[in-house]
Amino acid sequence: MKFSKLANLKIFNLILIIILLNTAKNSANIAPLDFFLPDDPNFVVPIKRGYKFQFESLNQFGVQDIDARRDIINPISEKTIKETVNVLQMWDVNQSTLDMIRGFSPNSTIGQLAAKLNMANDDGIRGHMVPTADLKGQAFSWRARFKIRNSLSLNVSLPFYHFRLSNVVWQDLTQSDTAADLLTKQYLTDDFFATVAELGQGLNVKDGWNRLNIGDTMVELRWDQDFPQPTNPRLKNVALSLRSGLTLPTGLRQDENLLFAFPYGNDGATGITFGGGIDLNWFHIFHGNINVDFLELFGSSRDRRIKVFPDQTSLIFLEKTYTRLKPGLTQRYNLGLSAKIYQGLNFGIAYEHMKHNRDTIALYNNSFSNEVANTASCLQDWTTHNFILKIAYYGRSNFHLFYKHPFNGRRTLLNSVAGFEFSVDF
């Protein structure tokens, strides 16, 4: 039978709630790892009738070295140039050792070194280093789902990440043409790694790293409801979902003393998740779905490296001090279309987009400027765009094979991923 007016009104209200939840919240400070999160709507399958529990495993493998997407402003045309670059060049074209030592007290060790190099102006070449490295990654996650009532379930998920940064190289662009060049080489670039380690309170930019650890745990309450359309010749079912929960800061934190050692989660912050979606079934063959998800973090306080001079570059911040980080708004949108090929076998495509607004940082140390600290490139907004291909089988056990291809994006990793997912109902 057709929807009643009351049913239509309820569905309209539910969709309105989804939209409001996902436009009114400040949210995630998640690192742009460009792996699927455990709650990704591409792989969530409702628990079937007669079962109370579902276990899921999501396994993702990077198929090549991870690149990065960088946006820079052309100083002449003032147009934005989008480039695919090495991961260590995601925020800056290169790193300036001369600007690295600016902005400190004249009485400090770094300030005294800056005074010795006062004659060495930064011309875009002198004191500049070009870093490169290879970054590889893989991710694994599990999710347990418990049916509380017919439409209500509780989800608990935990991801594991393994990233390796290797083959770190720093190319010195400094020439040997002038006295300022030679002075810069003597005090900064000839013994660059030791200088950075000494002045940067143990900052190691020479070596790579290999880190295997867990991400943030998610506990989520989920509501799913089907609205069959038996009299509609085309549209056979409308399925709605709403979800909300907590992310718990179990993930590996950013290591402030290692090069580009990003966090495996929200860097110590607890958050509240919000989301919802709608799935349409035509002819019992085609499925189309739209999902939106958000995460509001409460922020976190700890020692972080900060920018203390307007022209400093992001990989060689020497100052480390106690800060409060306030995350920007992150949004995740997912559009999908799939078709049944044979019985439980399906083929699907999807597009997923994430957008994260800039973060802000507050300093507890009055010796440095909050305004300058907040101009750091690593605090700016980032976006991702991914195209997804998947083959799925749905039964008591559900299975997905998938490939995710990143394209465009801004200040983010470009991580091509292949993998498989399976879930079993009990």
On whether residue 198 sits in a domain, the answer given is: no
- Judged against a pLDDT cut of 60, whether residue 3 lies above it is answered with no
Tokens of 324: 């409060």
Return d(Cα 272, Cα 219) in angstroms, integer: 10
Q: What tens digit of pLDDT does each residue of 282-303 get?
A: 999 999 999 999 988 888 899 9
Q: What is the pLDDT of residues 314-330, one digit of tens each?
A: 999 999 999 999 888 88
For the residues 95-119, what does the mean pLDDT come to? 96
Read off the pTM: 0.88
SS (H, E, C) the chain: CCCCHHHHHHHHHHHHHHHHHCCCCCCCCCCCCCCCCCCCCCCCCCCCCCCCEEEEEEEEEECCCCEEEEEEECCCCCCEEEEEECHHHCCCCCEEHHHHCCCCCCCCHHHHHHHHCCCCCCCCCCCEEEEEEEEEEEEEEEEEEEECCCCEEEEEEEEEEEEEEEEEEEEECCCCCCHHHHHHHHHHHCCHHHHHHHHCCCCECCCCEEEEEECCEEEEEEEEEEEECCCCCCEEEEEEEEEEEEEECCCCCCCCCECCCCCCCCCCCCEEEEEEEEEEEECCCEEEEEEEEEEEECCEEEEEEECCCCCCCCCCCCEEEEEEEECCCEEEEEEEEEEEEECCEEEEEEEEEEEECCCEEEECCCCCCHHHHCCCHHHCCEEEEEEEEEEEECCCEEEEEEEEEECCCECEEECCEEEEEEEEEC
**Domain count along the chain:** 1
In a domain, 252, yes or no: yes
pLDDT at position 401 is 97
Looking at residue 75, what is its pLDDT?
67
Confidence of residue 37 (pLDDT cuts 50, 70, 90): confident
Using CA atoms, how far apart are residues 33 and 292, in angstroms rounded to an integer? 19
Provide the pLDDT confidence category of residue 107 given band limits of 50, 70 and 90: very high
- Asked if the structure places residue 96 within a domain, the reply is no
- Say if 377 falls within a structural domain: yes
* Beta-carbon count within 10 A of 105 CB: 13
pLDDT tens, position by position, 146-199: 999 889 999 999 999 999 999 999 999 999 999 999 999 999 999 999 999 999
| Owning domain of residue 247 | 5-88+135-177+208-425
Where does 375-425 have alpha helices with state H?
none
Average of pLDDT values for 91-101?
95
Q: Among candidates 247, 22, 241, which has minimal Cα distance to 153?
A: 241
24 band by pLDDT with thresholds 50, 70 and 90: very low
User: Residue 173 and residue 189: Cα distance in Å, rounded?
Assistant: 9
**Is there a domain that residue 196 lies in?**
no
Answer yes or no: is pLDDT of 419 > 50.
yes
Judge whether residue 33 has pLDDT over 90: no
Query: How many other CB atoms sit within 10 Å of the CB of residue 149?
Result: 7
Asked if residue 19 has pLDDT above 70, the reply is no
Chain centroid offset of residue 364 CA? 27
Which comes out higher in pLDDT, residue 38 or 73?
A: 38
Instruction: Tell whether 218 is covered by a domain.
Output: yes
